[in-house]
Amino acid sequence: MSELRFKNFEMGDFDAVIALWQAAGIILSRSDTQTGLAQKLERDPDLFFIMTDADNQIIGCVMGTFDGRRGWINHLAIDPKRQGEGLGKLMIRQLEDRFRKAGCEKVNLLIEPTNSAVQAFYERIDYTEDKLIFMEKWL
């Protein structure tokens, strides 16, 4: 694992990260544009980071957000060719460390109903299900 590096997301990574998210089956939203991601970087840039391999290729990405009370995990993705090697767990542990440093004491995430298989991954790394009704509105 020594060849792996974490690096904060920069706008120059945009195309590669979108490609990774698409390859991993992440459902992109209208916020996942250059403008949307640049706006996210203005707030907590150290919570949005990538993982690179020995060849400097992006093999993982996660976009954490901290609203001052809760941490949120968004768009976690590992390159399909590298899944099952413990890298997703490594990304989440790294993000949890960064949340702790920010003063965050609870982390939340949402799973698309079409992606319910990923629940087993989160349970394996100590996350528990809380049945809530999620409501939303685009502005």
Sites of contact with ligand COA (CB under 6 A): 24-26, 76-78, 83-89, 109, 111, 115, 117-118, 120-121, 124-125
Shortest distance, position 70 Cβ to ligand COA, whole Å: 16
Closest approach, Cβ 23 to ligand COA, in A, equals: 9
Give the separation between CA 46 and CA 64, rounded to whole angstroms: 9
**Closer Cβ to ligand COA, 54 or 139, answer by number:** 54
Buried-state track 62-78, b at ≥16 Cβ within 10 A, e below 16: bbbebeeeebbbbbbbb
Q: How far apart are CA 135 and CA 31, in angstroms?
A: 17
Cβ proximity to ligand COA, 51 vs 104, nearer residue: 51
